[in-house]
Structure 1
Amino acid sequence: MLQLGRSPAGMLANRRRMPAGPRACPSSVAAARLLAEERSDCLVARAVYEDVASLPEPQWRDNQLRWSRPAGVEQVQAPPGAPPIVVLPGFGNATTDYTEPFGNREAALATRLEVRGWRPFVVPVQRKDWFRVARGLLTRGFWRGGLTTDPGYTWYLERVAETVERALRETGAEQVVLVGHSAGGWLGRAYLGDQRYQPAGGADDAAAAAAAPQAKPGTAGAAPNPRVAAVVTLGSPQRPPPPEKKRDMTGGAQGWVDRTYPGAFFAGAGVRYVTVCGRTVRGHRDFPRQREGPRIPEEYAYDSYTEVCGDGEGVAGDCVVPLGSAMLSGARQVVLDGVYHSMSRIGTFDEESGVVWYGSEDVLDCWLGPLVAELQRGPAAAAEALVAAVEDGEAAAA
C-alpha cells in the first residue's frame, strides 16, 4: 500500500485498551497485529479461491475471518529451472522484514522460499529510505496529480533493477519472478514496463549497453522487460481511489502506472501475472464514535479501505487493502480467507502478530502453486487467457 496516512498505536481483537506505541504508516510492516487474543471469536475460514468472479459469501463473525490451512495443500517445490524470485518490499517495510523478521531468520519469507528450492533476492530497502518519496511533494506535478513514478519512486525502481541484475548474474538465469508485497506490487508493474530499465537497444555486450543513451525515469515502454518471466502481487493496491472520493496520495504516480499498464498488460507478450489478496476483515464503523481507545479491526479496515478505494463500509480485504483494489483483470487471481496484510503488530516493528500473512508457512504454498502453474503454462497460454479475459469484460459491459 502507499498512503502516507495515520494509523493507530495498537489494538486487540477483544477490544481491550492497549498502551500507545510509535505511529506508523498503515501500509507498513506494522499494519496487521489485529488478533492477539481470543482468536476463537472469529469463524475459521478454510478456503482458497481462484474463481474470484463468483466468490461465496462467508459467515462473518465480528466482521472477521480466521485462517486455517486448507486440506490437501502441500509444500510447493521450485520446479526444475525455476527463475529466481526478486522480492519487492511494501511501503514502510525494510529488507529485514523478508529476510529476518523480529530477528528470526527461520520465520522469513526468503528462508521459506529457500527451503522449497527457490532462489530469493530481496530488494535492499531501509525504513528511512521511504522518506525519499517526499521528493514528489516539492513538485507542481504532485499537487496536480500528474506525476509518473519520478521523482518519488525512482530510487526504488533503480534498486529493483540492480537486484534483478544481481539475481541473474549469481544464478545464471535469464529471467526472474517479481514478487511485490503491498506497494511493491504496483511498483513492480512500473519496473516491468519502464523503458529506463530495459536492455539498451538489445545490446548483449555490457559495455555497449552502458554506453547507450538512457531513458529518463518514468518513461513508459511498449514492451515488457525481457528479464521478467512473471509478476506476483501480494495485497497490492493496484489503482488509486476515484478522484471524486479521495486524493491520490502518490501525486498521480500510482494512477499513471495503472493507466499506462492496465490489468495484465504484458500477458500477450508472455509475462505471467498472479494477484493475491486476503479476505479477512470487513470494514465497519459506527458513527458517531463515542467509545474511547484504539480502533478495533473492522474500524481500522474501514479507515484503510477508504484511503485506498474511497469506500470502507462493508468492504472486505486483508485489513489494509480491499479485495477489489488488489486484483488485476487478466491475471490469475487468488483470494485467501483469513490472511492479513503483513506480519507485525500495529505501531511497532519488533513484535510478531500471531496471525498469518502472505509469507506465513501455511499460506505461502497457496500462491506458490498458482505461480508454478502459470510458469508451466507458458507464454502462449498466458496470452490466450488475457484475450479471453478481455472478451469476457467486453461481453459483460455490453
Structure 2
Amino acid sequence: MVCSWRRVASKVYEARPLLKSFRNASSLPLVNLPRDHYPAASGRLTQVPVTLIPGHGIGREATDAMVEVFDHAEAPIEWERFEFDEQAHDIPSEVLASFAKTKVAVKGPFFTSLNNSRKSLNVRLRTTLDLYANVVQAVSIQGVETRHKNVDLVVIRENTEGEYSGLEHEVVPGVVESLKVISREKSTRIARYAFEYALRHNRKKVTVVHKANIMKQSDGLFLECCRSVAADYPFLQFETMIVDNTCMQLTWKPQQFDVMVMPNLYGNIVTNLATGLVGGPGLFPGVNIGERGAIFEQGARHAALSIAGKNIANPTATILSGVMLLRHLGLDEHADLIETAVQRVYAESKTRTPDVGGSASTTEFVSAVIARMN
C-alpha cells in the first residue's frame, strides 16, 4: 500500500505533502505560523536553523543517522544541537531559547526511570511548550511483512493533561491518590483538531476513544466535548468506542479505523499498539503540535536502552521525522530525495535492521539509503 504524511503552510490545519509516497490524503496539520517565518522556505536564506535534541538511549544513534542522511542530501539545515538527559532537573534554558527562535525541533526519546521522582522530560517539553496534539500515522509499508495489510490510521492524542498531569500524593500511609485532569477547554481543542484534520485531509471517519462507562465525569466530559464538536461536521462519520474494545478491534480488524482521537494515556497505549501492528516503533514518525511550534520525533518514543550503542537500532522513524520537518519547511526536493530512498530500501532490498527481520546494522541501513539517493 502507498502512504503519505504532510506539512504546514500558514495555518494550523493547512498542509502540503509530508511523505509523498504515502497516502496523499493523510497530511499532518502543524503550527499556526506565518509562512515567511521560515527564511529558507521563503527564499531569503540558504540555511534554516533547527533545534536538535538527540535524547537518550538510541536517540543519539538515530539522530546521528538522520543528520548523516541530510548531509548527503545537502539539505540546508543548520542544527542547533543540545545534549542533556533525564537527570536534568529541568529543560535547559538554552533549549527553550533555541526553540523560541526556530519554532521547530527534531527530538530523540528520553527514557523515564521508575526510580526518578521528577516528571518525564518528554512530558515537560510537551506541557511547557503547550504542544497539545500528538499525531502519528500507522500505515502498511511496501516491503515490510506484517499480519495485517492495507492499514492506514491516524492516532491523535491530547498531549497535555489526563493522567499525565503528574498530580499524585499519599493520602495516608499506604494509600496513594493520582488525579486525572480533564478540562472542557483542552478536550474541545483536541476534538476540533481531530475533526479539522479529517476534513482537510479527505478522511471519512473520526473515532473517539474513551472509558466514560466507568470514569463518568472525566471521560464523560471528554466524550461530551467530542460529541459537541462532531455536530459541526455532519458530513464526517462519527463513532465512539470504549478503550479496551478499541484495543481488541485494532488487533482484530485495524482497517476499520481512520482518524482516532483520545485522551493522553489512551493515546500512548493505542499509538504503540497501532505502530506494532504495521512493523514496530522503529518505522513511524510522529509530531507534537502547538501554536508555538512543532517537535518531530519517533512516533512510539522508544528509548530502547537494551540496544543503545550496539549499532543495530532502526533509524527509519527518525529519518522520516526529518522528512516531515523538511516538507514543513518547504524543502520538498530534499524531502522527496530522502523519502524515496528510504522507501526503495524497503521495497527493493533485504537491508533491514533486526527489529524488522533483518541483520543489518544502523550504519549499513544508512549506507543503503544514501546509495539510493545517489
TM (norm. structure 2) is 0.33
Q: TM-score, normalised on structure 1?
A: 0.32
- Structure holding more strand per residue: 2
